[in-house]
Structure 1
Amino acid sequence: MDTAAAYFQAKLDHETDVDDVASALRAGAGDFTLVDVRSAEAWAQGRVPGAVHLPRAEIAARALHEIDRAKPVVVHCWGPGCNGATKAALGFADLGFSVKEMIGGFEYWVREGFDVETDRGVRPSPADPLAALLKEPGCGC
């Protein structure tokens, strides 16, 4: 049991999910920097409102100059089928940042029905009935 508890605590220490990030941002408890590590083209298609764009390949060169090390960082990429956020989290950790990976990525941000921002503004996204509750955004857990 101790091994399982340690494993799951370590996961929670280094991961968060879209519902927890959205809840923290809604409550004004965004005491972290949300970093989108996707390409410029992906960023332009849509992003989490308030996120900072820093493509994964540029973390080593730019993060220390552009991201506040005093605040924890939460990184995300496309979704569960992509390990870009894991690679980005490692890059931030190697630079000495406190970092978590937002599991589910942008895909589940959209699928759970949270707002999406583009250069034209912020719009709601309809929840995917196979991935989220339909009455309100989030997973209900």
Structure 2
Amino acid sequence: MVSQSDLLAFVEAKLAYEIDVVAAAEAQADGTAVIVDTRRQSSWDQGHIAGALHLPNNALDDRLADLPPDRTLIVYGWGPGCNGATHTARRLLAEGFAVRELIGGYEYWVRNGFAVERGDGVEKAEPDPLVTHL
């Protein structure tokens, strides 16, 4: 049986590691964090978080030196069913970076009505009332 203190420690660690889209947008806006898209090129081209850095898993080795060591890196993938961001986070944490994982990924960023960038510019969708706090 897992102890109450072990469960509490797990939940505290989870809260310290994961970040929701509202807090991520605030951290990006105030300059304390860089949002990092871990998806492949074709996914990035379909749309990505406005202002995000594209760092697919297959480019990690070549791009580590490009990452800011003084800011938190918020990694994301497609959504709750994608663990690509988790793989990237593990590698970045092992390299000594401060990392948080975006809960819900790109899907929940879009569903909350935050800015996304596509080839034709930056846009915002209407927030989905099922997920947004607005």
Task: Summarize deviations over 1:39-96 as a string: whole Å, max 9, x none.
Answer: 1111111111111011122113312x21111222110010000100111100111211
Q: 4+ residue runs of structure 1 moved beyond 4 angstroms?
A: none
Q: Unmatched 5+ residue regions in structure 1? A: 137-141
Q: How does 1:1-141 map to 2 (within 5 A)?
A: 1-25=4-28, 28-63=29-64, 65-133=65-133, 136=134
Q: Secondary structure at the match of 1:50?
A: coil
Distance (Å, rounded) in 2 between the aligned partners of 1:98 and 1:42:
25
Q: Percent identity?
A: 41
TM value normalised by structure 2 = 0.88
1:44 maps to a residue whose letter is D
- Do 1:112 and 1:127's aligned partners in 2 also have CA atoms closer than 8 Å? yes
Cα RMSD of the aligned pairs, angstroms, is 1.5
| CA distances 1:26-47 after superposition (whole Å, capped 9, x unpaired) | xx32311211011111111111
Distance in 1 (alpha carbons) for counterparts of 2:112 and 2:46: 17
Structure 2, unaligned stretches of length 5 or more?
none
User: TM-score normalised to the size of structure 1?
Assistant: 0.84
**Whole-angstrom distance in 1 between the partners of 2:79 and 2:58:** 17
- Equivalenced residues, count: 131
